[in-house]
């Protein structure tokens, strides 16, 4: 497996990325929001942790939820309705997928259909459960869903919870916990495993696994232009990390947990790293935050200086960083803004503009570039 080079932000130039960004509030009134998705049109679908999906139509938040799963969902803490993804052919088939923790605290991935009579309402009776994963503890459920450029559904699962991954599940290929999965929702019953998945032929391994060694992947995304995969993985007590897999990846990456927390040995305390590990492209200490929230690589048109920048944040500090990958494959990262927001999620709209969620205030903001002030010229002296 390819070993990626860790590049620290402060050691590299960052002139190609916007030096000034700001947040503009676009919608409010959400109840514990933590994710945003779009269905190929101008609407934003906002995931609310207690089990409801709201629609922001660009002007108003609609009074009726798109779907209400609150009677099925356990909440809150790190449980709840955690993920939403629309099928790439949603306009034709009306399918979308959700990830939530059920009343027993276990992870459920289910398919639903839009209502036949109202595009702003789902059919609650259309549920088809694809996956049910037992969760040994209440935390580290992951929960993000996204379709890759290959048309397969990718699913993030945390390591099962507690602290320090006591079952070493993230390194255990016989369990789905601590992994990113890749499944074919258009074949099989209830799904098929793509034959190109990296562990389909390994005895004792779960064929659904695409990548492993993750503690609590809190949001991943694909670059809509290149297909590259960006993963934010929440750390233990000291380090947060951002991982990267190029579009050419054939899967099977081991991102290190619990052997490593970012680039640092965790268990064992020494001699933890070898050539099989894929190291993060950025890490930051708990002096700068406590829980990384993954975002999106900007592909919008409104703010040219942000183009090609992966935007992500931290739940505790409210900081937002930008990372760019250069032509030689190295990465540069810079802190772009510090806010007072409790950042639980990012989103992108159909045009590639990026949004950020403040869960505590129930707000959604648009990330925008701002023009830096023009330097004042000093009068000449003689």
Specify the pLDDT at position 276. 94
CA angle, 162 then 141 then 361, to 5°: 105
352 in any annotated domain:
yes
Report helix, strand and coil shares of the chain as percent, to nearest 5. Answer: 5, 40, 55
Specify the pLDDT at position 10. 34
376 in any annotated domain:
no
Range of the domain at 215: 9-369
Q: What is the 8-class DSSP label of residue 224? A: T
Specify the pLDDT at position 275. 93
Q: 220-238 burial by CB neighbour count: b if 16+ within 10 A, else e?
A: bbbbeeeebbbbbbbbbee
pTM for the model stands at 0.93
Q: What is the 8-class DSSP label of residue 185? A: T
SS3 145: strand
SS3 170: helix
Specify the pLDDT at position 18. 46
pLDDT along the chain (382 residues), means of 10: 36 48 97 98 98 97 98 98 98 98 98 98 98 98 98 98 98 98 98 98 98 98 98 98 98 98 97 95 98 98 95 98 95 96 98 98 96 51 40
- Gap between the Cα atoms of 308 and 76, Å rounded: 35
1 in any annotated domain:
no
Q: How many domains does the chain have?
A: 1
4 in any annotated domain:
no
- Gap between the Cα atoms of 243 and 283, Å rounded: 9
- Gap between the Cα atoms of 32 and 35, Å rounded: 10
365: domain CATH number?
2.120.10.30
380 in any annotated domain:
no
Identify whether the C-beta of residue 53 lies closer than 8 Å to the C-beta of residue 46.
Answer: yes
Strand 354-358 and strand 343-348: pairing?
Answer: antiparallel
- DSSP letters along 300-362, please? -SS-GGGTT-EEEEETTT-EEEEEEE-TTS-EEEEEEEE-S--EEEEEE-TT--EEEEETTTT
21 in any annotated domain:
yes
119 in any annotated domain:
yes
Specify the pLDDT at position 13. 41
- Gap between the Cα atoms of 25 and 238, Å rounded: 32
Specify the pLDDT at position 370. 86
Contacts of 267 (CB under 8 A, 6+ apart): 164, 165, 258, 259
- DSSP letters along 59-107, please? S-B-SS-SEE-TTTB--STT-SEEEEEE-TTHHHH-EEEEEEEBTTS-E
Give backbone dihedrals phi and psi of 328, rounded to 5 degrees, phi first. Answer: -85, 5
Identify whether the C-beta of residue 197 lies closer than 8 Å to the C-beta of residue 206.
Answer: no
3 in any annotated domain:
no
């Amino acid at each position: 497996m390819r070993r990626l080079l860790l590049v620290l932000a402060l050691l590299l130039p960052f002139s190609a990325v916007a030096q000034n960004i700001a947040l503009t509030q676009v919608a409010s009134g959400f109840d514990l929001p933590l994710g945003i998705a779009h269905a190929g049109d101008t609407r934003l679908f906002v995931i609310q942790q207690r089990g409801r999906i709201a629609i922001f139509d660009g002007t108003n938040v609609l009074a009726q939820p798109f779907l209400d799963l609150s009677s099925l969902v356990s909440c809150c803490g790190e449980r709840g309705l955690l993920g939403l993804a629309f099928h790439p052919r949603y306009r034709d088939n009306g399918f979308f997928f959700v990830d939530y923790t059920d009343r027993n605290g276990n992870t459920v991935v289910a398919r639903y259909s839009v209502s036949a009579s109202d595009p702003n309402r789902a059919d609650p009776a259309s549920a088809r459960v694809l996956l049910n994963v037992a969760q040994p503890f209440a935390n580290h459920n992951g929960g993000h869903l996204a379709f890759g450029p290959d048309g397969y559904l990718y699913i993030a699962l945390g390591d099962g919870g507690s602290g320090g991954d006591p079952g070493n599940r993230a390194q255990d290929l016989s369990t789905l916990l601590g992994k990113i999965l890749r499944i074919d929702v258009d074949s099989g019953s209830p799904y098929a495993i793509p034959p190109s998945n990296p562990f389909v032929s390994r005895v004792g391994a779960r064929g659904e696994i695409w990548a492993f060694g993750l503690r609590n992947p809190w949001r991943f995304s694909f670059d809509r232009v290149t297909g590259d995969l960006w993963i934010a993985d929440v750390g233990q007590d000291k380090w947060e990390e951002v991982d990267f897999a190029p579009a050419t990846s054939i899967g099977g990456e081991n991102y290190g947990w619990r052997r490593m927390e970012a680039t640092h040995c965790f268990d064992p305390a020494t001699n933890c790293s070898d050539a099989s590990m894929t190291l993060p492209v950025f890490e930051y200490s708990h002096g700068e935050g406590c829980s990384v929230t993954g975002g999106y690589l900007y592909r919008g048109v409104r703010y040219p200086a942000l183009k090609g920048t992966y935007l992500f944040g931290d739940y505790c500090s409210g900081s937002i960083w930008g990372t760019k990958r250069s032509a030689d494959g190295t990465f540069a990262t810079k802190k772009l803004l510090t806010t007072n927001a409790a950042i639980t999620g990012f989103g992108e709209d159909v045009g590639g503009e990026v949004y950020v969620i403040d869960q505590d205030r129930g707000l959604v903001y648009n990330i925008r570039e701002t023009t830096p002030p023009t330097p004042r010229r000093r009068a000449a002296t003689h």
